[in-house]
Structure formats: structure tokens, C-alpha cells
Amino acid sequence: MGMDRIIEDKRLIKPKHWRYIIIGAIVLASSLFLMLRNPVSVYKTELNRLSIDNVTGGEFHEFITVTGEVEPITSIYLDAVEGGRVEEIFIEEGAMLKKGDVILRLHNQDLKMNIMNSESSLAYQSNELRNTLIQMEQQKIQNKRELLRIDYELVRLKRKFDQNKELYNDKLISREEYLVSEEDYLLAKENRDLAFLKMTQDSIFRSNQKDQMDENLRSMQQSLRMVRERLENLNVKAPFDGQLGLLNAELGEAINKGQRIGQINILESFKVKAEIDEHYIDKIRQGLTGYFERQQDTFNLRLKKQYPEVRDGRFEIDLVFTGEQPEKIRIGQTYNIKLELGQPKQAVMIPRGGFFQATGGQWIFVVDPSGTFAEKRNIKIGRQNPKYYEVISGLEPGEKVITSNYEMFGENERIVFK
């Protein structure tokens, strides 16, 4: 019996290979599936529900819109120089004033009595000074009269002494009589020198005293005028030409000394006061310009003053007109002012929109050139104004972006238009 012959399997794919083929096919199919599957999350919406705007290039103006209120360029406050009760009001709020016009009159009985007593006291002292000056003049005359008497007595005694001297030489009188006449003459001469010295000293003293008393009299007269002016201060007058913008006084009301009772507006020019959010405090400085439009006319302004206080998250600025002012401008009018925060420069811009609240300006949906979908793209936002955002990077002019609110898009990264 012959041996069995092994029959060779001539099949190309042997049964043991099918297992590897099937595994490879599964791996290949899985890879193709993963490669062909779209991993991007998609949100489908109607195109007319979206706001789509163009990315543009041009001059970017960084400005903010603020509401300003017209005020007079200068306001002068009226304070009561003297206290009293309002007796009469001559001019009402809003009236035009000339310097010196009496606005109201106060009544102060105590002040009137004090002024009358002061006038009486000053008048008495003034009269006393005058009486003293008269007495000094009389004393001056008396001293001159006394000196004249002494001079007369000295002449008489000298004549007698000269006569006795001759008589004594001729031995017609005694030596004692001669010596007495000599002593009388010498004594009279000494008295004359003393009287002249006394009169000279009195004259110097009187001259100094008179100068001092004259100065005191002038001071008293000045004090008397000032006291009388206090009574005149009961008439509250306008210190400058202007408009009476405020008057806080009623008939019969008691007004204290120094109390603020009114305000006068100088209407030679006007300013605009505005409040700004403290977010912009580092960008606000003197010299910034702004403008507003009224009845197709544009009026330019310049920032003149920035107030340092911040209250409730806002601070104030004053703007003045650099050219013409609106006709019939009135205090209290309000205007929407565009305040420039810097010089314009070339930039890529997109219109403002609701997207910013959701993205913080870090990304945006960019419309594909086909116009069938939009995809999320990272961007960087710079400056902004009430109309546009400045795009520092991520977009080019000519592209289109979705600027409406993104709340309905969720976490999806692609928007497909139906």
C-alpha cells in the first residue's frame, strides 16, 4: 500500500488569513469614518434672524457721547452782608440786572439802634476832640501872653538896673539898692529863659498831640462812615450786570448774616457741564475737543476744566465753545456731545453689536465667502466708540461677521444658514 500524498492548498487567501483581513477592514473603516465625520458642533438658523455687517478699514475716531447741560460761563453768589428780615423784594428770578440795582431790602431794628448809638458815641468823641484842640489853641495863646508879660517885665527891670548902676557909680544910691535891682533883673532874665523853654516844649508837645488827635478824628470819621455803610448793606444790590438766576428769599423771612440768598449769572458766554463715567478718567484731559449738532449746524467745544471729585462712579467736566454758540441758547438746555478721546488713525473696524456681551471681544463668527455658514474665529478688540470697535487682529477689511446677540448659539462653533 503506498503512502498518502499531501495535497497542496492552492487558494490565494487561506482561511487562517480571513481573521486578519476582517480586523484590518474594521480598523480601516473606523479610520475612514473618523476622517470623514465633521467634528465641529453646528447650529442651524435662518439668515434673516441675524445681523451681518462688513469689516471695514478707515479712520477710527475714539469718542464717547455725553449729555451736557448749558450753564453760564460765570456765576456770582449773593450773600447777606448783614442779617435781617426781608422787608421788600424788588426784582424776581430771571430778571436782567444792572450793577447797583437793589434786589431786596432787609429790616434790622437792632442794627439801626446800634448804628444810632455808635453815631452818637462817635459824634460825642469827635466833639470832645475838637474841644481839646480848642483848649490847646487857647493854652498856646495864653503861653504867648505870659511870655509877652515876662518880656515886658524884663525890659522894665533892666532899665531900672541900668539906672541904679549909674546912680550907684555916682554914689547917689546905696549898694544894697543897686544889688537888689541887679538881682531882680537877673531873676527876671532866668524866668524869661525858663518861660521860653516851657513854651517851646509845650509847642512841640501840642504839635504832636494835635497830629495824633487829628489822626484819631479821621479814624473816627472813617469808622462813622463804615457804621453808616452797614445800614446801607441792608439793601442787597447786584455787584455786576447779569441775570438773577436764583433768589432764596421770601417776604418776612429772617436772613442770617453771611447766608446765601441768590445767584447772578453772567451771560456774556456759556459753558456746558457734563458727567462722564469714571471708566474714562485716565483718558480725559484739558484741551480735548468735542462737538454737537443742532438744526444741521455743528458747534465745537473744548474741555476747559476737569473736576477731581468722583461721585457715584461719575465725574464732571466743563466744556467751552471755541466758535459760534447756538442762537437763543438758554441755561438748562441739554445737548448730546461727542467728546474726542484722541487723534483719529487708520484701523480695521466692525460695527458695535450684541455679540460683545457674549464674547467680550475675544472671538466672533466670521461668514464664509460662500455665504452658507459662519465659523468662530479668535480676534482682538482695541478701542471703541459708540458706533465701532477697533479690531487689532483676526479680521481683514471686506470680510463679514455676525454682530447680533450670540445667546441662542450656545457652545456651537459653526452657524449654518437655512
Higher pLDDT, 199 or 66: 66
Q: Residue 342 and residue 277: Cα distance in Å, rounded?
A: 17
Q: So what's the pLDDT on residue 1?
A: 44
Contact 104, 198 (CB under 8 A): no
339 or 36, which is more confident: 339
CA 229 to each of CA 100, 108, 112, 117, 126: distance values in angstroms, whole numbers, following the listed order: 14, 14, 11, 15, 19
Is the predicted pLDDT of residue 377 greater than 60, yes or no? yes
Cβ count within 10 A of residue 15: 8
Per-residue pLDDT reduced to its tens digit, 408-417: 888 899 999 9
In sequence order, the β-bridge partners of residue 316 are: 275
Q: What is the pLDDT of residue 214?
A: 77
Per CATH, which fold does 263-340 belong to? Elongation Factor Tu (Ef-tu); domain 3 (2.40.30)
Residues in contact with 274: Cβ distance below 8 Å, sequence separation at least 6, in sequence order = 66, 67, 68, 69, 316, 317, 319, 337, 339
Are the CB atoms for 242 and 267 separated by under 8 Å? yes
Q: Which of 298, 288, 300, 400 lies closest to 351 in space, CA to CA?
A: 400
pLDDT score at 34 = 45
Residues 150-190 pLDDT 10s: 888 889 989 998 998 988 888 888 899 989 989 999 998 89
Cα(410)–Cα(41) distance, rounded to whole angstroms? 10
Strand partners, 317: 274, 306
Q: How confident is the model at residue 102 (pLDDT cuts 50, 70, 90)?
A: very high
What residue spans define the domains of the chain? 42-62+345-417, 110-232, 263-340
Give the sign of the dihedral formed by CA 116, CA 120, CA 121, CA 122.
positive
pLDDT value at position 206?
Answer: 77
Residue % of the chain over a pLDDT of 90:
30
42-62+345-417 architecture in CATH?
Answer: Beta Barrel (2.40)
pLDDT at 224 over 80: no
What is the structure's pLDDT at 147? 86
Going by pLDDT thresholds of 50, 70 and 90, the confidence category of residue 386 is confident
Tens of pLDDT along 268-298? 888 999 999 998 888 888 889 998 988 888 9
The pLDDT assigned to 283 comes to 86
| Residue closest to 329 by CA, chosen among 243, 245, 267 | 267
At residue 4 the predicted structure's pLDDT band, cuts being 50, 70 and 90, is: low
